[in-house]
Each structure stands twice: as C-alpha cells, then as structure tokens.
Structure 1
Amino acid sequence: MREITLSNGKTIKVECLSCALTSGLIEPDGGVVIEIDHFHAHQDVAYPIKGLIILASKRHIKCFDELTEAEKMDYINLLTKIRKAQREVLGIENVYYFYNEDTTHHFHTWMVPRYEWMYQFGRSVESVRPVLLHARNNMNSGENIKEVMNAINALGKELNK
C-alpha cells in the first residue's frame, strides 16, 4: 500500500491509484470526465490545473505495447477527442503529453495544458515538474478550484454528448 495526498488534502492508502480511480473505489475530484470500454479520463487528483487530464487504461498494464488492438483504437480515438475538447471548450492551445513505464500506477497518459503562468518555470519538459509542484502547493485556493471544477464539467459535457 502507498499513501497518496489528493489535491483536496485528503490522504488515501491504495495499492494502485489508477486501479482505485478506474474501478470507482476513489471518486476523482469533479468526477469522471469520460469513460469508455477500455479507458477512463479524469482531472488529475494531485495537481489543480484547469484541463489537466489523466487518460488511464482500465486494465492493469504497464506498457504501451501491452495494449490490445481494441485498446489501441480506444486510446488514440479518446486521446484525440479529449485534446479537441481541451482546445474548443477551454481554449488550451498547447499540451504536453507524458506516459512512463516505471510508474507505481498502471498505464496512463498525462495531458498537461500549458498556460502563460507556467513559462516562468521554462519552456521544456524540464519545466513540468516545477509547474506541477507549484500547482499542488500554491493553487488550492477556492477560486482556482472553482475554475478547475468548471473545466471538468465543461469537458465532461462536451465529451459525453
């Protein structure tokens, strides 16, 4: 079991955060953005950044090459659909995508929007960690959380039409 602190300050103990989220054991802040046969998308539970989405496989796998053909199709189609909604609904022009195979969770992709305020930390992949830590430590204000929740609702509405 690992102990994880969520963006709302709650601490939970789980074997795998992704499994807990995709199975419904943990309800992500703002709820699920969209769920399909093989994938589940939600606002990242640790970093309150408007439009930051985690696209997680429902099946507990670690690597991209473990996806079945059906999962690959679901993945690319949903990734594209979410990105389009980020642009059209939230006005997000740039996104950094990350997935790593040495994670303690299972296969998931981070879709990290880039906002003007983030450029104070740089414009490369190296800037993402300081951006995330800044968000976790400094952006849990009522106003920002309200914006994040509104974004979750807007994306969910668009993606579940």
Structure 2
Amino acid sequence: MRKITLANGRNIEVDCLSCALTSGAIEPDGGVVVETEYFHAHQDVAYPIRGLIIVASKRHITSLDELDEREKIDYINLLTKIRRAQRDILGIEYVYYFYNEDTTHHFHTWMVPRYEWMYHFGRSIESVRPVLLHARNHMNTGEHLSEVMEAIAALRQELNK
C-alpha cells in the first residue's frame, strides 16, 4: 500500500491510485467527466486549468502497445469526442497531448489546453511543465477552482448525452 495525499488534502492508502480512480473507489474532485468500457476521464484539480482532462485506462497497463484492438478504437474515439467538446463547449482552440510510459500509474493521456496566459512560459513543449507548476502553485484560488468545476460539469453534460 502507498500513502498518497490528494489535491484536496485528503490522505489515502492504495496499492494503485489509477486502479482506485478508474474503479470508482476514489471519486476525483469534480467527479468523472466521462467513462467508457475501457477508459475513465477526469480532471486533476491540483492543476486548476479549465478543460484539462486525463484519460486513463481501466486495465492496469502502462504502454500504448499493450492496448488490445477494442481498447485502441475506444481510446481514439474517446480522445476525439473529448477534444470536440473542449472546442465546442469550452472554446479551447489548442491542446497538448502527453503520455509517458515511465509512470507508476496506468496508461494515461493528459489533454492540456493552451491558453493565451500560458505563452508567458513559452510556446514549445518545454513550457508545459512550468505552466502546470504555475497553475498548481498560484491558481488554487476560489475563482479558478470554480471555473474548473464549471468546465467539468459542462464537459460531463456534453459527453454523457
């Protein structure tokens, strides 16, 4: 078991945080945005950026090449559906997509929106970490968290029609 402190300050003990999230044992702040047979999408509110979505596999795998054919189809369809909702519902013009294989969590993809304020940190892939750190360290205010929660609700409504 690992001891983990969640974004809301709550301490939990789990074998795998992703297993706990995707199984519903732990509810992410703001709730699940959308779920399919193979994937779970939510926002990590520790990074209060409106429209930032994490898509995680329900199966305990770490790499893209471990997805079976049904999971691959579900994955690309879900990413496409979320991206369309980000654009249509939240007006998000650009998104960075990230996934890495050297994680202790399940295979997951971060969909990080690009906003005008972020260009202060640069325009390349190298700017994303400073943007995330800035959001975590300086944007955890009522106003930003409220915007994030409203975006989660709007995306959930659109994606679960």
CA apart distance, 1:37: 0.5
Secondary structure of 2:112's partner? strand
CA apart distance, 1:14: 2.7
Task: Determine the C-alpha separation between the residues in 2 that align with 1:10 and 1:131.
Answer: 24
CA apart distance, 1:11: 3.5
Task: Determine the C-alpha separation between the residues in 1 that align with 2:69 and 2:53.
Answer: 23
Partner of 1:76: 76
Tell me if structure 2 keeps the 8 A contact 1:6–1:45. no
- Stretches of 4+ aligned residues off by more than 4 angstroms: none
Partner of 1:65: 65
Tell me if structure 2 keeps the 8 A contact 1:7–1:48. no
Task: Determine the C-alpha separation between the residues in 2 that align with 1:2 and 1:157.
Answer: 34
Pair 1:119–1:2, CA change in 2 (3 A): farther
Task: Determine the C-alpha separation between the residues in 2 that align with 1:10 and 1:116.
Answer: 32
Pair 1:136–1:6, CA change in 2 (3 A): farther
Deviations 1:50-79 (A, max 9, x none): 100000000000110000100001000000
Task: Determine the C-alpha separation between the residues in 2 that align with 1:74 and 1:111.
Answer: 16
Percent identical residues = 79
Question: Which amino acid in the other structure matches residue 113 of structure 1?
Answer: P
CA apart distance, 1:46: 2.6
TM-score (norm. length: structure 2): 0.95
- 1:1-161 correspondence runs (5 A): 1-161=1-161
Q: Unpaired runs of 5+ in structure 2?
A: none
Pair 1:118–1:2, CA change in 2 (3 A): farther
Task: Determine the C-alpha separation between the residues in 1 that align with 2:33 and 2:157.
Answer: 8
Q: Could you say what the CA RMSD is over the residues aligned between the two structures, in angstroms?
A: 1.2
Q: Unpaired runs of 5+ in structure 1?
A: none
Task: Determine the C-alpha separation between the residues in 2 that align with 1:114 and 1:2.
Answer: 33
Secondary structure of 1:101's partner? coil
Q: How many residues align?
A: 161
Task: Determine the C-alpha separation between the residues in 2 that align with 1:97 and 1:4.
Answer: 25
